[in-house]
Structures are given as structure tokens and as C-alpha cells.
Amino acid sequence: MSRRESPPPPSPPPQLLGVQRGEVECEDRPERAEPLSDTEKEIIQDTWGHVYKNCEDVGVSVLIRFFVNFPSAKQYFSQFQHLEDPEEMERSSQLRQHACRVMNAINSVVENLHDPEKVSSVLALVGKAHAIKHKVEPVYFKILSGVMLEVFSEDFPEFFTAEVQMVWTKLMGAVYWHVTGAYTEVGWLQVSSSAV
């Protein structure tokens, strides 16, 4: 099959739709992220403790599913974009390192939920680096958030009940809000996308 005839990438799950090609939902972007209650923060921190104990393995599972289901995301990773086989991905030291960076960024957010300025600062750095240096389309953050929640729910079903999943969805919405704010701040104008 030629490159032109290759099948389109799979559609994002329904909860991830709503972002059009290259858009940073500026028009629909609320003024601020919905704040988490103290109870919600506690739920996130409690459940994260179970996930983070296995941070590298869980992070690798997240990235493998992300790249298998959304192979266009690999275009941003020259060191492992050639990997097709999930077992080969699992053995990649570069993929493992990136998985740890992703999980450590989430850990910084979770550890600092009591300090909104710190959370905003961490996510602004992540957003700006991905916009300016890596030129990653912001929609991938929304997709990755959904993949993370799927993996967490499957790997830790005893902790990720429906209520907990709702709280984590709210957190991931706030993460996406902060990251897209950083993209907007640096004047992100990417117009094409192979993600959707």
C-alpha cells in the first residue's frame, strides 16, 4: 500500500473530540480551569500514590497505547518514531525515559495541587517547550490525557472507580487548559494535523 493509500489513523475516542485540526480551542476556552475541591484533590493524591509506585511501567504502558492507537504522534520523536512493535517500544530506553518524564510532570502537578501558581508554572513550561521547541500540536495533550485515564482505570480498577475517573477527568481538563494557555501565549498558529 502506498503512503497515499494508507488507512487513516483511528478516530480519537468520543471524549477527545471537539478539537479541530491545529486549533487551540481559544473561542471555546473558558476563562479558567474548573477548580478542584479539597476532597477532589485528596482523591487525586490518594489514587496517584498507587499509580506512581509503578511510574515507569505505567508510563511505558501509556506511551505504547498512545503510539499504537495514534501513530501520527510518533512523528515528534525521532529517537523512536521508527518503532512499530509494542514489545520493541517497551524495550526502548528512550521511550522509557520519556515515559518517566511524562509521569514526573504529572507527579509535579499532583504534589502541588494545593499551590495553583506552581501547577500553572509547571504546565506553562511543559506547554511552551512542546509548542516552541518540539512543535507538538496541542490536541495530542488531550488525546494523551484520555489514554492515561484508560490505562490508569484498567491497571488500577480497585482505585479508579467511576467517581475517581470523573475527578481525574476534571484534573486532566485543567492540565489541558493550562497547556493550551501556554500555546496561546506563544502565538501557536499550526494549521495542519495528522492527529484527527
Low-confidence ranges of the chain (pLDDT < 70): 1-30, 189-196
pLDDT, position 30: 63
Instruction: Tell me the C-alpha distance between 21 and 44, whole Å.
Output: 31
pLDDT, position 20: 36
pLDDT, position 8: 39
Quick one: three-class SS letters along the chain? CCHHHCCCCCCCCHHHCCCCCCCCCCCCCCCCCCCCCHHHHHHHHHHHHHHHCCHHHHHHHHHHHHHHHCHHHHHHCCCCCCCCCHHHHHHCHHHHHHHHHHHHHHHHHHHCCCCHHHHHHHHHHHHHHHHHHCCCCCHHHHHHHHHHHHHHHHHCCCCCCHHHHHHHHHHHHHHHHHHHHHHHHCCCCCCCCCCC
Instruction: Tell me the C-alpha distance between 196 and 192, whole Å.
Output: 10
